[in-house]
Amino acid sequence: MITNALYRLYGLIIRIPAVGPWLDRWLRSRRGWVYRVRNLALRLERRLSGPGAAHTSNVHHTLQDLGWMIEGLRQGLADVQRRQLQWQTGGAAEWQARLDQHQHALNLKVDAALEALTQRVERAERQLGQARVQANAAAPQPRILNPGKLAAHSTRPQGVWLEVGCGPHPDPDRINIDLRALPGVDIVAGADGLPLADASVWDLRAAHLVEHFTAQHFVDRILPEWWRVLAPGGILRLITPDLQAMLAAHQRGQMSETDLVHVLYGGQDYEGDFHYHAYSTQSLSHLLAAFGFTDIHTVAAGRRNGLCLEFELTARKPLA
């Protein structure tokens, strides 16, 4: 589908007498980009026909964007053909001077178009990979194991406080949520499917959880869900491995490669113990700010927690 469109586009351009030979030379000098775009397109086509195809609405939007890009190139080629005809019927010297004048700008524009096309295909490929992971992972049915505690917290002056992804370390002062029905867990649910009302939570803490999601999943699914349940003015508290501090410690010889790899990629001893992303205080702060959170504050950075050096951030959902 995509590769056929690219080949048709190439076949259309190569037939233009004045432009075709120049384009052929230009593409040959940039074989690496050409092969990269072709291989990405082929992988994308294979994934579109494989598992997770029913979960790829975002990918189809990306493909529509690619279609518009190709249509724009086609229209641009039609304009080149029209100018080519004018050149052949008269004013060849004048048109040659104009072509020479704009050749460098044209090269830059085509390079930028190839870069944009590659980025879009790579993004679509990441979305397809995430869709396949989600399609193969059965999400647990949310279950409220301790409705009495939830009801009591709902009537407290300080409101509902959550501990999302508590694991084997529940906080008795919070409503504890985890994928597994471990001792002390009050709600069994995924972090992107909380069985709670909109704007019903005043404080949501997630310690060593955000690194368990791909960056795309965190932005597309996790943060929107947490934003939904947080009340205006509610606080989000995140604790996660400090990528910058750990890399610096490793370079100073204060953290072994084994420990660094273990923290960055997770223990991997059960299904949910894999790490897919790492953050610095700056990168996570920028991400939260771009999403709409305010009053972002670094509580701690490079803090020792077992093998890990961690940081803690707080952020607030705006009142309006």
pLDDT (tens digit, 0 to 9) for every residue of the chain, 320 residues total?
A: 566 666 666 666 666 666 666 666 666 666 666 666 666 766 666 666 554 444 455 555 555 556 655 665 666 666 666 666 666 665 556 666 666 666 666 666 666 666 766 666 666 655 555 555 554 555 568 999 999 999 999 999 889 999 999 989 999 999 999 999 999 999 999 999 999 999 999 999 999 999 999 999 999 999 999 999 999 999 999 999 999 999 999 999 999 999 999 898 888 776 667 899 999 999 999 999 999 999 999 999 999 999 899 999 999 999 97
Range of the domain at 235: 143-316
pTM (predicted TM-score): 0.59
Q: Are residues 181 and 66 in the same domain?
A: no
Reference 125, options 210, 216, 9, 35; nearest CA is 216
Q: Are 248 and 281 in contact (CB under 8 A)?
A: no
Q: Are residues 83 and 149 in the same domain?
A: no
Q: What is the CATH number of the domain that holds 239?
A: 3.40.50.150
DSSP string spanning 196-213? --TT-EEEEEEES-GGGS
Number of domains in the chain: 2
Q: Which of 136, 153, 183 is the last residue of a domain?
A: 136
Q: Are residues 113 and 202 in the same domain?
A: no
Q: Which of 109, 136, 163 is the last residue of a domain?
A: 136
Q: Are residues 107 and 23 in the same domain?
A: yes
Q: Are residues 74 and 162 in the same domain?
A: no
Q: Which of 136, 170, 188 is the last residue of a domain?
A: 136
Characterize the bridge pairing of strands 294-305 and 308-316.
antiparallel
Q: Are residues 77 and 189 in the same domain?
A: no
User: Which strands, in side-by-side order, build the sheet including 294-305?
Assistant: 143-144, 187-188, 175-178, 160-164, 201-207, 230-241, 308-316, 294-305
